[in-house]
């Protein structure tokens, strides 16, 4: 694997188009991630169609650079506006914004970018080390095991969703049903298409993702009565004293390790990782009361964790084909569109492609650190851009991107419908990510479920006879049952 | 207390929507004779997974609805008015109108063409949202909006048609 990675490094660094894609991808990712109302998932979803015409390698280089950079970008709006641009920046604002209000916005942003870069590298190293081992183990998986792992991923998503496991489950099942619309892949019999020729082709994941993550946010931000945001645009000194930066290494390392391991849990997401990292540092601190007042420690640990989650989330994606979070769910969609299914077989058949993803990630991390430091002042100005300009631009991108999938206005209609559904779901506090997860994982789950039953002659005990599938099924039942159990204990 | 009441009302609407979706899905399966012919006992056919999922969704919807009804009935005599006027239906007006114009955009784009329809849509909403947020625009803002709309439309057209090679109407 290392040899392959070195080879791919050389190929990418000597290809001007790849370098250009990295550069623009990182720049776009930082800007889009920084803009409030545009999350990294939305950035990926909206830019996903742009990668269609590229070959898979260039497409993935572009998307990986947007992915990695936008995760950092969320911390910029967290620090300057107190609105996290991405879920992983939720905790950064707790100390980042107070520090910015004290006139130390530049230092806060620098702490964030350095911690992000460091965390990203740690996450990448773990991905390199653990990925091949897990992929090797997963090569022994059979259909029942894959079905159980997919079910586990969906249950983990439901469990990890704040507010309501129950609602996340409903959304996930809804997504799974959407995945069954159209021609069945095994028998080519139409299902749930109501005789509609367009529905027979199935519901494409791209317009749904663009609608749910992109358009829904646009609709939310243009509601009647929404106030203009106040942005801190004055950025004075950028670099804090070196002695201060040096003293924060232990926090960065701890945050990165927490982030990488949490990110590796399917569907856990960076929000959990950063929260755990922040809480851990506060607990270990000699002055916990200072957290929340604008101290560097409150920025470094969560930011390091946030970007380490990127590498961590790629572990289940690349080795098992299970997205680690909503962003990697969109990446799965991108790979599927290019005819590549993530999973252990990819390590066997296309080790070069797997290596490319690893190389793209580390180059994106390095480039993000450099470009962010160079362009922070400029990006702070962009945050003040008028909402009407931003939102109309994003809407047009959503429309065109959805149209680009199959040159069909039907996909645009799907995007609009799901954009509105996503907006309403947010209104009733129903999580939207499980819908896309269900749509992405549904075919995998059904294919393996039915194949298992065909081989076993309709005997369902096949899922309980194999130890791997039994373990994953038991864990799935446990994570779904835990919220119910803990709630009834609280009521007692 | 009103917030909880409002949450329960939202859950009730959600539960009923889920049940309605389940019924539509069930109707789509049951009325499809070809699909229903498949025997999913020893040889799982294409109807197995949709039926399983629809049953699960139906149960979840019924549970959500009954729980919401129970909570609403339990608390209905405590609060009837919204003291803070937080459920402002006016907030939904702009997004709903926006979505309607998007449907119109999607319908008309293949008749008139991408550039003109996009330009019209962008100008309409840039001005509408701008007036809503900041009041009447200044001359400088009007010029900015027009230049931005034209530039963005042509830029996106160029990127998608000439660089990404996607045909736009």
Q: What does the DSSP assignment read for A155-197?
A: HHHHHHSSS-HHHHHHHHHHHHHHHTSEE-TTT--EES-TT-H
Closest B-chain CA to A393: B152
Task: Flag whether pLDDT at B15 surpasses 60.
Answer: yes
Rounded to 5 degrees, φ, ψ at B131 are -65, -40
A41 vs B17, more confident: B17
Q: Measured between alpha carbons, how far is residue A283 from residues A27, A149, A286, A289, A301 in Å?
A: 36, 34, 8, 10, 12
Mean pLDDT of chain A: 84
Q: In chain A, positions 436-455, which contact chain B (CB-CB < 8 Å)?
A: 445-446, 449-450, 453-454
DSSP code of residue A241: P
Q: In chain A, positions 111-140, which contact chain B (CB-CB < 8 Å)?
A: none
pLDDT value of position A176: 93
Mean pLDDT of chain B: 82
Q: Angle CA(A343)–CA(A444)–CA(A474) in degrees, nearest 5?
A: 90
Chain B residues in contact with A186 by the CB 8 A cut-off are 46
Query: Which of A177, A385, A424 best tests the B interface by mutation, with the highest count of B CBs <10 A?
Result: A177
- State the number of CA atoms in the 13 A half-sphere of A67 facing the CB: 31
Bridge partners, residue A76, by sequence: none
Closest A-chain CA to B105: A399
Please name the helix (run of DSSP H) or strand (run of DSSP E) that holds residue A321, with its range, or none: none
A84, A383 contact by CB (below 8 A): no
Distance of CA B100 to the CA centre of its chain: 11
A354, A64 contact by CB (below 8 A): no
Give the torsion sign (CA, A99, A105, A111, A116): positive
Which runs of E-coded beta strand occur in A70-131?
none
Rounded to 5 degrees, φ, ψ at A182 are 110, -165
Nearest alpha-carbon partner for A305 in A241, A253, A362, A351: A253
Rounded to 5 degrees, φ, ψ at A224 are -65, 130
ipTM of the complex: 0.88
Chain B residues in contact with A166 by the CB 8 A cut-off are 60, 64
pLDDT value of position B37: 67
Task: Flag whether pLDDT at A358 surpasses 80.
Answer: yes
Task: Flag whether pLDDT at A343 surpasses 90.
Answer: no
A65, A327 contact by CB (below 8 A): no
User: pLDDT by residue (tens digit) across A46-93?
Assistant: 788 778 778 888 988 999 999 999 888 888 888 887 777 777 787 888
Residue in A52, A177, A190 closest to B57 by CB = A177
Helix residue ranges per DSSP H, B92-166: 93-112, 114-134, 139-158
Mean per-residue pLDDT, B87-107? 84
Identify the three-state secondary structure at position B38.
coil
User: pLDDT by residue (tens digit) across B105-130?
Assistant: 999 998 999 999 999 999 999 998 88
Residue in A169, A423, A450 closest to B48 by CB = A450
CB-based contact B166 A407, cutoff 8 Å: yes
Residue in A53, A173, A193 closest to B57 by CB = A173
| Percent of chain B predicted with pLDDT > 90 | 34
Which of A167-176, A367-376, A475-484 comes out lowest in average pLDDT? A475-484
CB-based contact B95 A180, cutoff 8 Å: no
CB-based contact B34 A430, cutoff 8 Å: no
Rounded to 5 degrees, φ, ψ at A408 are -135, 130
Q: What is the pTM of this model?
A: 0.81
| Banded pLDDT at B42 (limits 50, 70, 90) | very low
Give the torsion sign (CA, A38, A41, A43, A46): negative
End-to-end alpha carbon distance in chain B? 53
User: pLDDT by residue (tens digit) across A105-119?
Assistant: 888 999 999 999 999
Q: In sequence order, which residues have a C-beta less than 8 Å from that of residue A352 and are 6 or more positions away?
A: A4, A7, A8
Chain A residues in contact with B163 by the CB 8 A cut-off are 53
Bridge partners, residue A190, by sequence: A183
Q: Within 10 Å of residue A350's Cβ, how many Cβ atoms?
A: 13
Task: Flag whether pLDDT at B70 surpasses 70.
Answer: yes
Closest A-chain CA to B124: A392
> Rounded to a whole number, what is the distance in Å from the CA of A353 to chain B's nearest CA?
22
Q: Which of A39-53, A327-341, A450-464 has the highest mean pLDDT?
A: A450-464
Q: From CA A171, how far away is CA A436, in angstroms rounded?
A: 9
Provide the number of CB pairs (under 8 Å) joining chain A to chain B: 182
Query: Which of A173, A210, A460 best tests the B interface by mutation, with the highest count of B CBs <10 A?
Result: A173
A119, A306 contact by CB (below 8 A): yes
Q: From CA A298, how far away is CA A258, in angstroms rounded?
A: 15
pLDDT value of position A267: 66
A351 vs B42, more confident: A351
Q: Measured between alpha carbons, how far is residue A364 from residues A79, A197, A259, A350 in Å?
A: 22, 42, 18, 21
| Percent of chain A predicted with pLDDT > 70 | 94
Bridge partners, residue A183, by sequence: A190
Q: From CA A118, how far away is CA A54, in angstroms rounded?
A: 30
pLDDT value of position A37: 66
Q: Does B20 touch chain A (CB under 8 A)?
A: no
CB-based contact A458 B42, cutoff 8 Å: yes
pLDDT value of position A228: 60
Q: Does A457 touch chain B (CB under 8 A)?
A: yes
Give the torsion sign (CA, B153, B157, B158, B160): positive
């Amino acid at each position: 694997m290392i040899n392959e990675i070195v080879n791919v490094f050389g190929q990418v660094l000597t290809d001007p188009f790849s370098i250009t894609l990295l550069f623009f991808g990182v720049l776009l990712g930082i800007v889009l991630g920084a803009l409030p109302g545009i999350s990294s998932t939305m950035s990926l979803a909206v830019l996903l169609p742009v990668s269609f015409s590229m070959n898979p390698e260039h497409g993935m280089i572009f998307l990986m650079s947007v992915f990695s950079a936008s995760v950092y970008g969320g911390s910029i709006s967290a620090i300057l506006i107190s609105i996290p641009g991405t879920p992983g920046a939720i905790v950064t604002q707790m100390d980042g914004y107070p520090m910015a209000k004290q006139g130390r916005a530049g230092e806060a942003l620098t702490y964030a970018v350095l911690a992000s870069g460091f965390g990203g590298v740690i996450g990448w190293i773990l991905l390199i080390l653990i990925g091949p081992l897990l992929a090797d183990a997963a090569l022994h998986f059979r259909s029942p095991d894959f079905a159980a792992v997919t079910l586990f991923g969906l249950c983990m998503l439901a469990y990890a969703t704040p507010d309501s496991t129950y609602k996340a489950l409903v959304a996930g099942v809804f997504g799974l049903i959407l995945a069954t619309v159209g021609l069945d892949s095994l028998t080519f019999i139409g299902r749930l298409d109501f005789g509609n020729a367009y529905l027979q082709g199935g519901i494409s994941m791209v317009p749904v993702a663009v609608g749910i993550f992109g358009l829904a946010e646009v609709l939310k931000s243009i509601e009647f009565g929404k106030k203009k945001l106040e942005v801190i645009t004055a950025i004075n000194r950028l670099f804090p004293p070196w002695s201060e930066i040096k003293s924060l290494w232990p926090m960065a390392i701890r945050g990165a390790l927490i982030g990488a391991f949490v990110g590796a849990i399917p569907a856990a997401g960076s929000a959990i990782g950063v929260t755990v990292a922040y809480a851990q540092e506060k607990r270990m601190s000699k002055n916990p009361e200072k957290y929340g007042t604008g101290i560097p420690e409150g920025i470094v640990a969560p930011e390091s964790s946030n970007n380490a989650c990127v590498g961590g989330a790629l572990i289940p994606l690349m080795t098992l084909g299970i997205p680690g979070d909503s962003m990697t769910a969109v990446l799965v969609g991108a790979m599927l569109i290019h005819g590549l299914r993530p999973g252990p077989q990819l390590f066997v058949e296309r080790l070069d492609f797997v290596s490319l993803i690893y190389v793209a990630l580390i180059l994106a991390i390095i480039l993000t650190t450099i470009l962010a430091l160079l362009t922070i002042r400029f990006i702070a100005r962009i945050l003040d851009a008028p909402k009407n300009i931003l939102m109309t631009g994003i809407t047009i991108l959503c429309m065109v991107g959805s149209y680009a999938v199959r040159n069909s206005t039907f996909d645009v209609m799907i995007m609009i419908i799901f954009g509105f559904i996503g907006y309403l779901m947010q209104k009733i506090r129903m999580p939207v990510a499980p819908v896309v997860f269900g749509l992405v994982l549904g075919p995998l789950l059904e294919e393996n479920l039915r194949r298992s039953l065909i081989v076993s002659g309709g005997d369902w005990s096949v899922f309980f006879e194999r130890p791997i599938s039994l373990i994953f099924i038991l864990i799935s039942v446990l994570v779904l049952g835990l919220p119910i159990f803990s709630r009834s204990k609280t009521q007692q | 207390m009103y917030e909880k009441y409002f949450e329960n009302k939202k859950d009730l609407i959600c539960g009923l929507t889920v049940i309605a979706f389940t019924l539509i899905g069930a109707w789509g399966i049951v009325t499809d004779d070809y699909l229903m012919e498949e025997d999913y006992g020893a040889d799982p056919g294409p109807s197995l997974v949709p039926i399983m999922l629809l049953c699960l969704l139906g149960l979840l919807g019924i549970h959500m609805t009954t729980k919401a009804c129970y909570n609403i009935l339990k608390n209905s005599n405590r609060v009837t008015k919204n003291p803070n006027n937080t459920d402002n239906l006016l907030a939904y007006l702009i997004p709903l109108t926006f979505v309607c114009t998007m449907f119109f955009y999607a319908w008309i784009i293949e008749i008139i063409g991408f550039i003109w329809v996009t330009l019209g849509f962008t100008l309409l909403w840039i001005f509408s949202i701008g007036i809503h947020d900041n009041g009447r625009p200044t001359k400088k803002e009007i010029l900015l909006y027009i230049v931005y709309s034209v530039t963005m439309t042509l830029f996106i057209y160029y990127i998608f048609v000439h660089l990404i090679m996607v045909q736009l109407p």
